[in-house]
């Protein structure tokens, strides 16, 4: 075999050093990626996200819902708080086209049972017959629903998503609010009403 010239040997040594530098850089990049991934995973953990969402929700909690006029299925108009028969009640903003609403309302009714009144509230532009049919489809026609005649309930309650559910006192003071459907939100609502057990046997 023919021996390498001085020039060829120099080029071979230079290539070997470049390969070592590139390999070291790749190892460092890989370690950085793993470290960043672990940090991101810990900061975006579900428990942290749920806790952050709960804190934000409480910070922007409206102090009370107004005693606004609502229309029942018969067409009669009366103020929401005047319809309350118990010291605390649940006001669930609902729409017949809202998938999460169809999930939340049956769970809400199951967990609360007879522990609290549930006022199902829809906006004035919802089709009332469609709303009645959809409530019947999920087995909750007995709850009925109320139309937010002026939109004041949704506006003052800061309702920006459906479902949004409140626990209120007879004077309209907001004790808890849950946006969207989650079992964490359901637990907060039940806790404010003194219900501790959310099992299937409720």
The whole-angstrom separation of Cα 67 and Cα 4 is 95
What is the predicted pLDDT for the residue at 4?
56
What is the predicted pLDDT for the residue at 198?
63
The whole-angstrom separation of Cα 110 and Cα 99 is 18
What is the predicted pLDDT for the residue at 201?
47
At which residue do the structure tokens 């919802």 appear? 126
The whole-angstrom separation of Cα 190 and Cα 159 is 20
Q: Which residues of the chain have pLDDT under 70?
A: 1-25, 27, 30-59, 197-202
pLDDT digits (tens, 9 = 90+) for 38-82: 554 444 445 554 444 454 455 578 899 999 999 998 899 999 999
Buried b (16+ CB within 10 A) or exposed e, 142-152: ebebbbbeeeb
What is the predicted pLDDT for the residue at 114?
86
The whole-angstrom separation of Cα 196 and Cα 175 is 16
The whole-angstrom separation of Cα 108 and Cα 104 is 6
E strands within the chain? 69-71, 77-79, 88-93, 117-123, 146-148, 164-169, 174-179
- Collect all residues with Cβ–Cβ distance below 8 Å to 83 and sequence separation of at least 6: 70, 119, 146
CATH number of this structure's domain 63-192:
3.40.30.10
pTM of the predicted protein model: 0.69
């Amino acid at each position: 075999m023919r021996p390498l010239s001085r020039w060829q040997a120099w080029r071979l040594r230079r290539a070997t050093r470049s390969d070592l530098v590139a390999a070291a850089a790749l190892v460092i990049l890989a370690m950085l990626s793993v470290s960043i991934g672990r940090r991101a995973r810990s900061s975006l953990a579900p428990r942290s996200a749920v806790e952050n969402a709960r804190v934000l929700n409480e910070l922007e909690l409206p102090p009370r819902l107004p005693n606004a006029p609502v229309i029942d299925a018969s067409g009669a108009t009366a103020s929401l708080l005047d319809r309350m028969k118990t010291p605390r009640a649940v006001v669930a903003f609902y729409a017949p086209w809202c998938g999460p609403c169809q999930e939340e309302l049956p769970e809400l009714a199951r967990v609360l049972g007879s522990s609290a009144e549930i006022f199902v509230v829809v906006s004035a532009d919802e089709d009332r017959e469609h709303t009645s049919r959809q409530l019947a489809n999920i087995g909750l026609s007995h709850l009925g629903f109320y139309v937010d005649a002026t939109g004041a309930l949704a506006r003052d309650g800061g309702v920006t998503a459906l479902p949004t559910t409140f626990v209120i006192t007879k004077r309209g003071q907001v004790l808890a609010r849950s946006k969207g459907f989650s079992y964490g939100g359901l637990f907060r609502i039940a806790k404010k009403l003194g219900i501790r057990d959310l099992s299937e046997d409720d």
